[in-house]
């Protein structure tokens, strides 16, 4: 990570305000109309599967995961993954992503979805969801809807609308 001493740790409730400011700086106000944000309006992230990156006490990155269902299949929705612009291209996003996926798998989750850049996320096993197989609320660029099986074949036969998983949701 280019000689930066980065600490990756589970998100805590005390991190919420700093993470919201990070999202505000990196994604702007338009983020609220996106499909993934519409799902996030109704469900809090799973803190044990969401992580922060810090240099000393400075929050420089964050990744969150929240419980969803695709049809009747339980899954996680990863995102947003963000890093402060001056600290990008130093491996912080990759470290956050690796930790989030490893913890999800260790805790028995089988499937992770996200909306993002296939070139970036394919490096860790994400692939495009076939058009028409899954729907999301609100506007979404379906060419950016990606899935990763944490267990071989976990996405086989899965289809339907992505919605909050109220069994795991804290709201």
Q: Which domain holds residue 129?
A: 6-164
Strand 73-83 relative to strand 111-115: parallel, antiparallel, unpaired? parallel
Half-sphere exposure of 20 (CA within 13 A, CB side): 10
- The reported pLDDT for the residue numbered 28 is 59
Check whether 32 has a pLDDT greater than 60: no
Query: Is residue 19 included in any domain, yes or no?
Result: yes
Q: Is residue 66 part of a domain?
A: yes
Is residue 1 in some structural domain? no
Predicted confidence (pLDDT) per residue in 133-171, tens digit = 999 887 788 999 999 999 999 999 999 999 988 776 654
pLDDT at site 1:
44
- The secondary element (H helix, E strand) that includes residue 73 is strand 73-83
Domain-embedded: residue 133: yes
How many structural domains is the chain composed of? Answer: 1
pLDDT at 33 over 60: no
pLDDT band at 31 (very low <50, low <70, confident <90, very high): low
Query: Does any domain span residue 170?
Result: no
User: Which whole-number Å values give the CA distances from 3 to 53, 87, 90, 96, 102, in the listed order?
Assistant: 14, 12, 9, 17, 24
Q: What's the predicted TM-score (pTM) here?
A: 0.88
Three-class DSSP category at 157 = coil
**Is pLDDT of 85 > 70?**
yes
**Does any domain span residue 171?**
no
The reply to whether 169 falls in a domain is no
Residue 5 pLDDT > 50: yes
CATH number at residue 129: 3.40.630.30
Q: According to the model, what pLDDT value does residue 132 have?
A: 92
């Amino acid at each position: 990570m280019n000689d930066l001493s980065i600490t990756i740790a589970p998100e805590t409730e005390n991190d919420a305000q700093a993470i919201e400011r990070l999202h505000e700086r990196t994604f702007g106000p338009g983020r609220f109309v996106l499909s993934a944000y519409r799902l996030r309006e109704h469900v809090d992230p799973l803190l044990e599967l969401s992580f922060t990156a810090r240099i000393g006490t400075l929050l420089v990155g964050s990744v969150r995961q929240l419980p969803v269902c695709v049809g009747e299949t339980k899954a996680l929705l990863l995102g947003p993954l963000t890093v402060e612009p001056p600290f990008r291209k130093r491996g912080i996003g990759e470290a956050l992503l690796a930790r989030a996926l490893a913890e999800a798998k260790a805790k028995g989750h089988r499937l992770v979805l996200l909306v993002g850049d296939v070139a970036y996320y394919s490096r860790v096993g994400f692939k495009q969801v076939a058009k028409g197989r899954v729907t999301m609320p609100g506007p979404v660029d379906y060419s950016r809807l990606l899935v990763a099986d944490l267990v071989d074949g976990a996405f086989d036969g899965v289809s339907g609308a992505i919605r909050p998983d109220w069994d795991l949701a804290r709201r």
